[in-house]
Amino acid sequence: MTAEFGQAQWNLGMSSYAVIGADKLVCSYEQNGAMRLARLDLRAGRLDPLDLGYQDYSFIRVQGERIVCRAGSPTEPAAVIRIDQALASTEVLQRTTTLDPDIGRFVSVPTHVEFPTEGGLMAHCLYYAPSNPGFAPAAGDKLPPLVVKCHGGPTSSATSTLDLRIQYWTSRGIAVIDVDYGGSTGYGRQYRNRLRSQWGIVDVDDCVNAAKHMVAEEKADPTRIVITGGSAGGYTTLAALTFRDFFKGGASYYGVSDAAALARDTHKFESRYLDKLIGPYPEAEKLYRERSPAFHADQLSRPVIFFQGDEDKIVPPSQTEVMVTALRRRGIPVGYFLFTGEQHGFRKDVNIKRSLDAELYFYSGLVFATGLTY
């Protein structure tokens, strides 16, 4: 099949299938940005999809005749569910969050978009249109601002599972694209291998071209496009702002600015990972320096806001502070939030909310100009 039956192993204990008999499996697979769950009969060579209404499946386990997994959809946040195969019914065992029923009126459901990119190739993203039934565009404001989101990894992928951090933007009249740049899991080995030795180039090109495609489709205002990402997505964000003259500003969440420092100091789980993404270290040290925004901050002239945890061991605050200091020295608008007790990825709800509010405020004054447009 033209489908992806594996996932990037970004956590311990992940599984995309489980054994349900001597010659039967239950497995997940991904096509065009959406996942399905299916029973696979190995003897007959037959795949029977289970139509359960979800588009994201992971951590699949089997309990006798029942399947247990993590699942989500564009209108449902992630939950642990149990599936009774005999009755073809599902039961939610634990939700990640409880939502107000009224929130459904505001939810923007993503559309999978394929767009042209460098070398005559095609890449992928999820497009979220602005959605707020209580407001209409301001007079003369025909096209919305656009937030380009870069997932981390970088070889993981965007997910269509309801993410309130994305809905934060769309409910305020701002469009979002979540880019599955070349190298992302979900589109086959050839697509994933596009990022080999090309991190900081292919991902950046695809994010730029995704935004250009939205402009060409008249779904975004070309004068109000920003880019944001965390961890590896923060690296793509900083590389795009440093090495390309397209985005009007951006936000880096614990983003990598010095790739060589990451190669030297990263934890054991990701040891030697960058050998395939950039090159073997230290043999390719010159290439690492060429791809690291920290050594080319003089080329960055767009407003940037940085968010960092003071206990981050993967991307320590020193990496972020090099960029902040360089931008302040040159008089470039810059924001910096250092959160106490946070690591690589924020866990405290008050900090997640504060960072989103700060990011919106930062853009509203410097990029979006008129603030909330819808």
Domain's final residue, options 73, 95, 117: 95
Q: What is the mean pLDDT of residues 274-279?
A: 96
Q: Is the pLDDT of residue 371 over 50?
A: no
Residue 84 shares a structural domain with residue 231: no
Q: How confident is the model at residue 12 (pLDDT cuts 50, 70, 90)?
A: confident
In a domain, 7, yes or no: no
**What is the CATH classification number for the domain harbouring 240?**
3.40.50.1820
Pairing of strands 56-63, 46-50: unpaired
Q: How far, in Å, CA of 358 to CA of 275, rounded?
A: 35
- Does 370 have pLDDT greater than 60? no
The answer to whether residues 303 and 327 belong to one domain is yes
pTM of the model: 0.93
240 and 303 both lie in a single domain? yes
Count of beta carbons in the 10 Å neighbourhood of residue 105 = 11
The per-residue pLDDT for 372 is: 41
Q: What would the two tokens of residue 354 be?
A: 């504060």
Pairing of strands 334-339, 175-180: unpaired
Q: Is the pLDDT of residue 163 over 50?
A: yes
Residue range of the domain that includes 352: 102-366
Q: What is the mean pLDDT of residues 327-354?
A: 95
**Residues 86 and 194 occupy one common structural domain:** no
Domain co-membership, 120 together with 249: yes
Domain finish residue from 95, 115, 136:
95
Q: Is residue 371 part of a domain?
A: no
Give the rounded percent of residues in the chain with a pLDDT score beyond 90: 77
Please state which of the ranges 51-60, 88-97, 130-139, 315-324 shows the lowest mean pLDDT.
130-139
The answer for residues whose C-beta is within 8 angstroms of residue 249's C-beta and 6 or more apart is: 226, 241, 302, 303, 304, 362, 363, 366, 367
Same domain, 91 and 108: no
Q: Are residues 108 and 41 in the same domain?
A: no
Q: Which of 21-30, 70-79, 80-89, 304-313 has the lowest mean pLDDT?
A: 80-89
Whether 84 and 107 share a structural domain: no
Q: Are strands 175-180 and 146-150 parallel, antiparallel or unpaired?
A: parallel
DSSP classification of residue 223 = T
Domain termination site, one of 95, 118, 148: 95
Q: What does pLDDT average to over the chain? A: 92
Phi, psi of 257 (to 5 degrees): -115, -20
Q: Let me know whether 140 and 230 are in one domain.
A: yes
pLDDT-based confidence at residue 369 (cuts at 50, 70, 90): low
Question: What integer is the mean pLDDT of 194-223?
Answer: 97
Is the confidence at residue 298, as pLDDT, over 70? Answer: yes
CB 103 within 8 A of CB 131: no
Q: Is residue 55 part of a domain?
A: yes
Q: Are residues 75 and 107 in the same domain?
A: no
258 and 161 in a single domain? The answer is: yes
Asked if residue 244 is part of any domain, the answer here is: yes
Q: Which letter, b or e, does each residue of 295-314 get, where b requires 16 or more Cβ atoms within 10 Å of its Cβ?
A: bbbeebebbbbbbbbeebeb
Whether residue 176 is found in the same domain as residue 293 = yes
Pairing of strands 122-128, 111-116: antiparallel
> Tokens standing for 245?
């003259």
> How many domains, in total, are found in the chain?
2
Written as one letter, the residue type at 354 is R
